[in-house]
Structure 1
Amino acid sequence: MPISLALFDMDDVLVHYDRSARVRSLASLSNRTPDEVSQAIWGSGLEAKADAGLIDDVAYLRETSDLLGCRVSLDDWLQARRESMSPNIQVLALAAAVSGTCKIAVLTNNPRLVSDHIAYLCPPVADLFGKNVFASASFNAAKPSGQTFLKCIDSLGVAPAESLFVDDLEANVRGARNAGLLGHLFTDHAALAEEFRAHGLLMR
Structure 2
Amino acid sequence: MSTHRRIVLFDLFGVIARHQRPGALAQMAARCNTPADAFAEAYWACRPPYDAGQWSAPEYWTAVLRWLSRSADADSIEELRLADIRSWSRVDKRMVAYVRSLREVTEVALLSNIPADHADAFLATQPWLGKLDHAAFSGKIHAAKPDPAAFHHCIVAMQAAPADFLFIDDREENVRAAQATGMNGHIFTRPDELTPVIDTWLPTRRLTPPR
The answer, yes or no, to whether TM exceeds 0.5 is yes
Asked if 1:96 is matched to 2:100, the reply is yes
Q: CA deviation at 1:19?
A: 5.5
Root mean square deviation, CA, Å: 2.3
Question: Relative to structure 2, which stretch is displaced further, 72-81 or 143-152?
Answer: 72-81
Question: Relative to structure 2, which stretch is displaced further, 1-10 or 31-40?
Answer: 1-10
* Cross-structure match for 2:48: 48
Which one of 21, 29, 32 corresponds to residue 31 of structure 2? Answer: 29
Alpha-carbon distance between aligned partners in 1 of 2:59 and 2:87, rounded to the nearest angstrom: 23
Aligned partner of 1:191: which letter?
E
Question: Relative to structure 2, which stretch is displaced further, 48-57 or 23-32?
Answer: 48-57
- State the Cα deviation string for residues 19-55 of structure 1 (Å, max 9, x = none): 543302311321222112101111xx21022223332
Aligned partner of 1:146: which letter?
P
Alpha-carbon distance between aligned partners in 1 of 2:198 and 2:48, rounded to the nearest angstrom: 31
Which one of 147, 150, 170 corresponds to residue 149 of structure 2? Answer: 147
Alpha-carbon distance between aligned partners in 1 of 2:170 and 2:8, rounded to the nearest angstrom: 15
SS of the residue 1:165 aligns to: strand
SS of the residue 2:43 aligns to: helix
Q: CA deviation at 1:175?
A: 0.4
Find the structure with the greater CA-based Rg.
2
Alpha-carbon distance between aligned partners in 1 of 2:61 and 2:155, rounded to the nearest angstrom: 29
- State the Cα deviation string for residues 172-200 of structure 1 (Å, max 9, x = none): 00100111111111011111111111111
Instruction: Report the CA distance shift for 1:67/1:4 in structure 2 as closer, same or farther (over 3 A).
Output: same
Identity %: 26
Which one of 186, 194, 198 corresponds to residue 192 of structure 1? Answer: 194
* Counterpart contact for 2:168–2:186, Cα < 8 Å: yes
Alpha-carbon distance between aligned partners in 2 of 1:98 and 1:50, rounded to the nearest angstrom: 31
1:4-153 to 2 correspondences below 5 Å: 4-18=6-20, 20-42=22-44, 45-68=45-68, 69-70=70-71, 71=73, 72-74=76-78, 76-119=80-123, 123=125, 126-130=126-130, 132-153=134-155
Aligned partner of 1:4: which letter?
R
Alpha-carbon distance between aligned partners in 1 of 2:193 and 2:202, rounded to the nearest angstrom: 14
Instruction: Report the CA distance shift for 1:141/1:84 in structure 2 as closer, same or farther (over 3 A).
Output: closer
Equivalenced residue count is 198
Aligned partner of 1:171: which letter?
E
Asked if 1:203 is matched to 2:198, the reply is no
Task: Tell me the TM-score normalized by structure 1.
Answer: 0.84
Q: CA deviation at 1:3?
A: 4.2
Task: Tell me the TM-score normalized by structure 2.
Answer: 0.82
Alpha-carbon distance between aligned partners in 1 of 2:171 and 2:197, rounded to the nearest angstrom: 16
* Counterpart contact for 1:22–1:81, Cα < 8 Å: no
Q: CA deviation at 1:156?
A: 3.1
Aligned partner of 2:206: which letter?
M
Alpha-carbon distance between aligned partners in 1 of 2:160 and 2:38, rounded to the nearest angstrom: 43
* Counterpart contact for 2:6–2:202, Cα < 8 Å: no
